[in-house]
Chain A
Amino acid sequence: MAESAGLENHRIKSFKNKGRDVETMRRHRNEVTIELRKNKRDEHLLKKRNVPQEESLEDSDVDGDFKSQNVTLEAILQNATSDNPTTQLSAVQAARKLLSSDRNPPIDDLIKSGILPILVKCLEADDNPSLQFEAAWALTNIASGTSAQTQAVVQSNAVPLFLRLLQSVHQNVCEQAVWALGNIIGDGPQCRDYVISLGVVKPLLSFINPSIPITFLRNVTWVIVNLCRNKDPPPPMETVQEILPALCVLIYHTDINILVDTVWALSYLTDGGNEQIQMVIDSGVVPYLVPLLSHQEVKVQTAALRAVGNIVTGTDEQTQVVLNCDVLSHFQNLLSHPKEKINKEAVWFLSNITAGNQQQVQAVIDAGLIPMIIHQLAKGDFGTQKEAAWAISNLTISGRKDQVSQVEYLVQQNVIQPFCNLLAVKDSQVVQVVLDGLKNILIMAGEEASTIAEIIEECGGLEKIEALQQHENEEIYKLAFEIIDQYFSADDIDEDQSLIPEATQGGTYNFEPSSNIQTKEFNF
């Protein structure tokens, strides 16, 4: 039993790693969004391009009240080191104001002016909490900029002082220190682990108590999100263990911002490999996480869907934990959600269930989700169609005999036509997934293969598969060839043999020039 489970695991692993691993998929998802944004931006640029700019310039620098104050950096710098507490405070405050007005804060100018050590020094002024607060605010905003700007704050040795301020009796100072640390932790894994190594976690979590003001708690939750974020490398195991109980508490919170951040934190933790997934499962949070899939706020749904979606990229057992929470009952709604992004993630989730064991596949069928997946396959936007192709293909792939009826069911639901339609897309990964799926369906159909072949031919699939024999991608070429060879050319095997290109040593194929010409000169 244990052995067979191990085998099963191995199968899933090898198969989820074989180009089907979720990380690559999600990475691609991100690329797509970035690409879209870029296009949008380019469009913008194009429109604006060469249109006279003078007017707009004048418009952009009017902002903020610093102009009216007419303060110069030199004056600020000079006064910020003044012995007169009032002068010093108002100088630091002026710097803070420069940084907290809404547009184009002069962060680099301030860093260049050498103000950082002065501000950091101010953090030590325990007898002047107002000064500490203003300085912490200014540093927070400097650290909110680019990575180089954040690094400048870290390099000026501010982190230990901020950690010290977490003990301050003045709540506004504490809160500002939390915020500043959040920005530093948010810069990336190195900064994150540096701040963790200096001991941020315990004092941070100690703020979570019933008496803390809601705005403060929001900031604390956000910093926790940053602690969980980034996976190269992931946060230290001990830190995750420390944080999880806090997340289990925060997930009950009624404040939407806190709830959303909490769920995102969980989604980051579940994105860090099976061990971290196991830690999240062991924390007992899953039964509370799953119902959020039907939360009234789209923000919460999105984050929850990402988190549970990450969990089911794990082992069958880990997947089963989620399924045991009746997760599939939420998917009727998610698949018909008006937001395409949610449809896409929902199908992505299901594609990982259909990659599971037979019972898990059956659960998807029993929940009545197959027709909806096929609907997305046919009508969804391209990203969703792609996920649906994976979902279908995964279902066919294990090739176990007892899955035959499941594949039959798939065919009954008219999957073939929309599935074949995707053979015409440019994305070669999708084409390969579909070909894989078609081939498996044909294999599993056994005696009925000719019926399936007929359906494929009737819906125009054959034509597309034939065309794919010219595809530049070798895998695709091979698959297309195999399918044609085995299922569509039974009568004239002899003739076909002559058309098979010879494989040369490098695994590439040589085409007889004459066989190419044949297709080209067809039109007279």
Chain B
Amino acid sequence: MFVSDLRKEFYDVIVTQRVLLLVSPDVDALCACKILQALFQCDHVQYTLIPVSGWQELESIFLEHQEQFRYFVLINCGANIDLLETLQPPEETVFFICDTHRPIDVVNVYNDTQIKLLIKQDDDLEIPAYDDIFRDDEDEDEDDDSGNESEGSEPSGKRRRFDEGAVERRIERRRQRREWEARRREILFDYEQYEYHGTSSAMMMFELAWIMSKDSNDMLWWAILGLTDQWVQDRVTQMKYVTDVGTLQRHVSRHNHRNEDEENSLSIDCMRIAFEYDVRLSLYQHWSLYESICNSCYTSSSLKLWSVQGQKKLQEFLADMGLPLKQVKQKFNSMDISLKENLREMIEESANKFGMKDIRVQTFSVQFGFKNKFLASDIVFAVIALLENAERDENGTDNFIKALDSLSRSNLDKLHHGLELSKMLLRAIQQTVASCICTNLILSQGPFLYCYLMEGTPDVKMFSKPVSLSLLCKYLLKSFVSSTKNKRCKLLPLILAAPLDVEKGTVIMVGIPPEVEGSDKKNFFGRAFEKAAESTSSRTLHNQFDMSIVNLKTEDRSKFLDALISLLS
């Protein structure tokens, strides 16, 4: 069931209890977790935090801890499958689920006692009505009995004599039931067909803090990062993003109005959040402008930087802005102050001339003390890179903790490390995109585009991680759409596969919706993957909380794809 009063039905319940916090490894979840941790610290709530990377881990961790805890808080996991069915929890176990995954499983929605959803009901949920999907199952037993009889069970010892009317009514009821079941299947099919994301979990947790008047500027920043993560990963519509930015902007002005007019508003330990119109250039303040332009998805795909022509265009673009190459290629920090003054306006103006009309974006920045200023998206990239750091063979928990730490402003060194890693990630993405397009690795399979990264491709190990792979997939599709002249192909979704574990012979596969104007960001690949796996009995593993990411055996890949093609044609 939905929790309507976050404080009474959630926080007040757990504040006196021991809580197990299960957190999915994504930036929004980490930010939600930070907010909750801060609240827990205020109120001395005893909790244990465990990262869970997928369904299997969730199951095993639950099994391990179900006897020690009664209350479980799940962040960005658990909403989109039937948890009670999957975990078989004891009667007294209660799950609080704060999760952006949609659609929410209907049993989770309608269970009254064990499942509490910390999810905004005004999100566009379109949950089927209770009566359309649940029903007293007395009839079912009757049907069962008659089913057994036809198979040859023993004759019953006692029989009731029904009147004619009753027999007719029973037949009629069975007919109605069959109809109802058919309709139920249809309703559930429609409801479960598309996967998408709802309001950021960090924003939900911030709302909780705000309701309790315990919100701080730090918490607000985490909420902003949660939302920005959704934007970076292209998980919500432009409309939803802008609306949520508006909500957060009000909180920003509430928290950051003090000393606005005074000259010396900055101090060594201050934290200032500001709403910004900035440009879609990743990490430019921590990189060189040139590198940023080359490795940002928006500029790179618009200018087609993988081609000779694109490179020429880039030079023209820089010239148009009137920026000397030497300045552009050195560290942004060291650029001439005079050049930086009107930089954003200059970029915007030239970008417009080069067909990049959407280069301006609403976002937020933060300033810690005098020196460190970050755009929200920069930090999101840094945390993603820390989370999926494949540099050393560390287990997921280490990455998780480092990523979580990097969100505290006392750990700027970790954040800077993350920024460096994220530059490597963006470069790797850019190079892979360029090579895929130049060597025509993206194939049209009819109902979708398909690209497979061969083992041995540079940086391929980086893309065995779900978020990095999804980012690559998104950048690849954007670039492909701007490079192809085939109009039909522009409207197709993309499936990208990369080796997961060479020894085990497995690949990881992600599917994303088409790159179209005003896209609703709804993804049908989750269900399609499930169906294709079922019909070909391919050895797949749906372990990610995102259903549109699947692991499968390399040798089953072709039959799996064939099934997908016929399914989606």
Measured CB to CB, the residues of A under 8 A from B are 44, 46-52, 55-57, 59-60, 63-65, 96-97, 99-103, 105, 137, 140-141, 143-145, 150, 176, 179, 182-183, 186-187, 222, 225-226, 229, 260-261, 264, 298-303, 339, 341
Q: List 15 A-B contacts (CB under 8 A).
A: A46-B84, A52-B130, A97-B163, A99-B160, A100-B161, A100-B166, A101-B165, A102-B173, A137-B161, A141-B161, A143-B158, A144-B158, A179-B159, A182-B158, A341-B151
Chain B positions within 8 Å of A150 at CB level: 158
A50 touches B111 (CB 8 A): yes
Chain B positions within 8 Å of A105 at CB level: 160
Smallest Cβ-Cβ distance to B112: which chain A residue: A50
Q: How far is the CA of A50 from the CA of B158 in the complex (A)?
A: 33
Within 8 A of A (CB), among B66-123: 82, 84-85, 88, 91, 107, 110-114
Tell me if B324 counts as interface (CB < 8 A to partner A).
no
Smallest Cβ-Cβ distance to A65: which chain B residue: B165
Chain A positions within 8 Å of B173 at CB level: 102
Chain B positions within 8 Å of A299 at CB level: 149-152
Contact code string B151-178 (vs A, CB < 8 Å = 1, else 0): 1101111111111011101100100000
Distance in angstroms from B465 CB to nearest chain A CB is: 33
Partner of A59 from B84, B91, B111, B135 at Cβ < 8 Å: B135
Chain B positions within 8 Å of A183 at CB level: 158-159
Contact code string B310-349 (vs A, CB < 8 Å = 1, else 0): 0000000000000000000000000000000000000000
Chain A positions within 8 Å of B157 at CB level: 186-187, 226, 229
Chain A positions within 8 Å of B413 at CB level: none
- Contacts A51-B107, A60-B138, A298-B152 aside, 18 further interface pairs with beta carbons under 8 A come to A46-B84, A49-B84, A50-B114, A51-B110, A51-B134, A52-B130, A55-B134, A64-B166, A101-B169, A102-B170, A102-B173, A137-B161, A144-B159, A182-B158, A183-B159, A222-B155, A261-B155, A341-B151
Smallest Cβ-Cβ distance to A180: which chain B residue: B161
B136 touches A47 (CB 8 A): no
A341 touches B159 (CB 8 A): no
- With most chain A CB atoms within 10 A of its CB, the pick from B131, B136, B158, B169 is B158
Q: How far is the CA of A143 from the CA of B161 in the complex (A)?
A: 11
Distance in angstroms from A499 CB to nearest chain B CB is: 37
Distance in angstroms from A502 CB to nearest chain B CB is: 40
Distance in angstroms from A363 CB to nearest chain B CB is: 26
Smallest Cβ-Cβ distance to B131: which chain A residue: A55
Tell me if B137 counts as interface (CB < 8 A to partner A).
yes
Chain B positions within 8 Å of A186 at CB level: 156-158
A144 touches B160 (CB 8 A): yes
Chain A positions within 8 Å of B149 at CB level: 299
> Chain B contact residues (Cβ within 8 angstroms of A): what range?
35 or more
B136 touches A60 (CB 8 A): yes
Smallest Cβ-Cβ distance to A345: which chain B residue: B152
Chain A positions within 8 Å of B169 at CB level: 63, 101-102
Distance in angstroms from A234 CB to nearest chain B CB is: 16
Chain B positions within 8 Å of A50 at CB level: 111-114
Q: How far is the CA of A46 from the CA of B84 in the complex (A)?
A: 8
Chain B positions within 8 Å of A229 at CB level: 157
Interface SS of A by simple majority: helix
Smallest Cβ-Cβ distance to B164: which chain A residue: A100
When A and B form their complex, which 9 residue pairs have the shortest distance between CB atoms, in order from nearest? A302-B152, A186-B157, A56-B136, A144-B160, A102-B166, A50-B113, A299-B152, A100-B163, A144-B158
Distance in angstroms from B49 CB to nearest chain A CB is: 27
Partner of B160 from A100, A264, A339 at Cβ < 8 Å: A100
Chain B positions within 8 Å of A101 at CB level: 162-163, 165-166, 169
Distance in angstroms from B483 CB to nearest chain A CB is: 50
Q: How far is the CA of A105 from the CA of B166 in the complex (A)?
A: 12
Smallest Cβ-Cβ distance to A188: which chain B residue: B157
Chain B positions within 8 Å of A141 at CB level: 160-161
A182 touches B159 (CB 8 A): yes
Q: How far is the CA of A105 from the CA of B150 in the complex (A)?
A: 26
Chain B positions within 8 Å of A96 at CB level: 163
A56 touches B159 (CB 8 A): no
Contact code string B290-301 (vs A, CB < 8 Å = 1, else 0): 000000000000
B107 touches A222 (CB 8 A): no
- With most chain A CB atoms within 10 A of its CB, the pick from B138, B149, B151, B154 is B154
Chain A positions within 8 Å of B160 at CB level: 99-100, 105, 140-141, 144
Q: How far is the CA of A143 from the CA of B82 in the complex (A)?
A: 42
Q: How far is the CA of A356 from the CA of B163 in the complex (A)?
A: 52
- With most chain A CB atoms within 10 A of its CB, the pick from B110, B155, B159, B173 is B155
Q: How far is the CA of A150 from the CA of B159 in the complex (A)?
A: 12
A48 touches B137 (CB 8 A): yes
Chain B positions within 8 Å of A46 at CB level: 84-85, 88
Q: How far is the CA of A60 from the CA of B169 in the complex (A)?
A: 13
Chain B positions within 8 Å of A99 at CB level: 160
A302 touches B151 (CB 8 A): yes
A225 touches B155 (CB 8 A): yes
Smallest Cβ-Cβ distance to A43: which chain B residue: B85
Q: How far is the CA of A55 from the CA of B138 in the complex (A)?
A: 14
- With most chain A CB atoms within 10 A of its CB, the pick from B88, B135, B152 is B152
Distance in angstroms from A242 CB to nearest chain B CB is: 20
Chain B positions within 8 Å of A300 at CB level: 152
Partner of A341 from B107, B131, B152, B167 at Cβ < 8 Å: B152
Distance in angstroms from A219 CB to nearest chain B CB is: 9
Smallest Cβ-Cβ distance to B136: which chain A residue: A56
Partner of A339 from B85, B110, B151 at Cβ < 8 Å: B151
Distance in angstroms from B4 CB to nearest chain A CB is: 15
- With most chain A CB atoms within 10 A of its CB, the pick from B107, B159, B169 is B159
Smallest Cβ-Cβ distance to B163: which chain A residue: A100
B162 touches A260 (CB 8 A): no
Q: How far is the CA of A132 from the CA of B81 in the complex (A)?
A: 58
Q: How far is the CA of A196 from the CA of B174 in the complex (A)?
A: 39
- With most chain B CB atoms within 10 A of its CB, the pick from A102, A176, A260, A300 is A102
A222 touches B159 (CB 8 A): yes
Chain B positions within 8 Å of A47 at CB level: 82, 84-85, 107
Partner of B155 from A44, A48, A264 at Cβ < 8 Å: A264
Q: How far is the CA of A300 from the CA of B150 in the complex (A)?
A: 10
Q: How far is the CA of A75 from the CA of B224 in the complex (A)?
A: 72
Chain A positions within 8 Å of B152 at CB level: 260, 298-303, 341
Smallest Cβ-Cβ distance to B82: which chain A residue: A47
Q: How far is the CA of A358 from the CA of B163 in the complex (A)?
A: 57
Chain A positions within 8 Å of B135 at CB level: 56, 59
Partner of B161 from A65, A179, A222, A225 at Cβ < 8 Å: A179
Q: How far is the CA of A225 from the CA of B160 in the complex (A)?
A: 16
Q: How far is the CA of A260 from the CA of B155 in the complex (A)?
A: 9
Smallest Cβ-Cβ distance to B139: which chain A residue: A103
Chain A positions within 8 Å of B107 at CB level: 47, 51
Distance in angstroms from B222 CB to nearest chain A CB is: 33
Distance in angstroms from B18 CB to nearest chain A CB is: 23
Distance in angstroms from A260 CB to nearest chain B CB is: 7
